[in-house]
Amino acid sequence: MGWLMPAETDPQERIWMAFPPGGYALGETAEEQHAARRTWAAVANAAVGFEPVTMIVAPDDVEIAARYLSPEVSVRVAPLDDAWMRDIGPTFVINHDGGLPGSSAARLGAVDWVFNGWGAQDWASWGKDQFIGEAVARFAGVELIDSPMVNEGGGIQVDGEGTVLVTETVQLDPYRNPGMSKADVEAELARTIGATKVIWLPRGLARDAQRFGTRGHVDIVAAIPSPGTLLVHRQNNPAHPDFEITGNIIKFLAGTTDAAGREWNIIEIPAPETLTDDEGFVDYSYINHLVVNGGVIACSFDDPMDATARQILADAYPGRRVVSVDARELFVRGGGIHCITQQQPLLP
């Protein structure tokens, strides 16, 4: 059967994160740095109420991190450039076939994608982060699966049954994978995460296409809470550029099917009413949430739409308790709760 990335709703062993070490994500002023550390820690401290959380911390930040993190959050030390664990860390996969002579036991692996700063962005540094995938696999004691493809965990969404959502502007980015075709990308996704059906979104959100964006990560646009169902970001205000973009994405997805041939049950999650911040139109999205054992860690924005989104998530993930964390300090830095976390599945 080979390697397969399980659904994010499958049982989990733990959540991996990274504590912001410096650079643009941490901020320049003491106030900005405190806001970043407080928000990263708030996500970890919420998640550890559901399952173990391990935080990768740069050597110089161990004492600082201890002041913010719950004692229940475990710490591993490794050099870091940044703190977006979904992207710099590995993607965990399971081989249910065993793959070893005479063995039928499932194995856990970690796909170590090439990371190059979201397509060699001029503001990014990745000399240390490019080794975090290998480091996390070693800390977790799992098999390392090397991939030559530049990819990030925020650039894929799966249903655990072979369906994978990606974006043309990410995997086919000439600054990520020059010369790779869709067929090449699909073959590598099949080898590493068990993709049998790859759905290519044409693009991501407007702000994500700007200078400090990822060029179109899917995990701010769509999520798969259960096979055959899609949660999709919808901007309802025509004044926002994402009004047209999300309308086109929803129309596109409505014309696709999953790996099993099912038409999607599409559930729209409205964007917050907040349209702008100091940098322009925001890409605030409730899609960028984290599923944990028995719960969901959801983004909030001190916005009138928070309660509506929370109820939609509760309905989409029945039996899970939804806990909200103010994610504005994450989004102003370029991501959300899903972006700073990575789940390690529990072996069956």
**How many alpha carbons lie under 13 Å from residue 251 in its C-beta half-sphere?**
7
Burial of 148 (0-12, 13-18, 19+ CB in 10 A): exposed
Instruction: Give yes or no: 299 in active site.
Output: no
User: Residue 347 gets which letter from DSSP?
Assistant: P
> Could you tell me what percentage of the chain is helix, strand and coil, using 3-state DSSP and rounding each to the nearest 5?
30, 25, 40
Tens-digit pLDDT profile for the chain (348 aa)? 599 999 999 999 999 999 999 887 888 999 999 999 999 999 999 999 999 999 999 999 999 999 999 999 999 999 999 999 999 999 999 998 865 555 668 999 999 999 999 999 999 999 999 999 999 999 999 999 999 999 999 999 999 999 999 999 999 999 999 999 999 999 999 999 999 999 999 999 999 999 999 999 999 999 999 999 999 999 999 999 999 999 999 999 999 999 999 999 999 999 999 999 999 999 999 999 999 999 999 999 999 999 999 999 999 999 999 999 999 999 999 999 999 999 999 998
CB 279 within 8 A of CB 214: no
* pLDDT for the residue 104: 62
Nearest to 236 by CA among 227, 225, 245: 245
* pLDDT for the residue 25: 83
* pLDDT for the residue 1: 58
Residue of 35, 195, 325, 339 marked catalytic: 339
Q: What is the number of domains present in the chain?
A: 1
Question: Token match 């405190």: residue?
Answer: 34
Q: What order of strands is seen across the sheet that includes strand 91-95?
A: 3-4, 91-95, 107-114, 143-150
Cβ neighbours of 227 (radius 10 Å): 17
Range of the domain at 243: 3-344
Nearest to 318 by CA among 229, 254, 256: 229
Q: What is the rounded end-to-end Cα distance, in angstroms, of the chain?
A: 15
Share of the chain above pLDDT 70, in %: 98
Q: What order of strands is seen across the sheet that includes strand 157-158?
A: 157-158, 163-167, 197-201
Distance between CA atoms of 304 and 274, rounded to whole angstroms? 9
CATH of the domain at 119: 3.75.10.10
Distance between CA atoms of 330 and 61, rounded to whole angstroms? 19
Please give the structure tokens belonging to residue 240: 């926002």
Q: What are phi and psi of 203, to 5 degrees?
A: -170, 175
Residue type, 55: M
* pLDDT for the residue 99: 58
pTM: 0.97
CB 201 within 8 A of CB 228: no
Please give the structure tokens belonging to residue 65: 């991190």
Residue type, 103: S
Please give the structure tokens belonging to residue 34: 């405190």
Distance between CA atoms of 142 and 347, rounded to whole angstroms? 11
Q: What are phi and psi of 24, to 5 degrees?
A: -65, -35
Distance between CA atoms of 167 and 159, rounded to whole angstroms? 16
Cα 249 to chain center, whole Å? 19
Burial of 296 (0-12, 13-18, 19+ CB in 10 A): buried
Q: How many separate helices (H) and strands (E) can be counted in the chain?
A: 11, 19
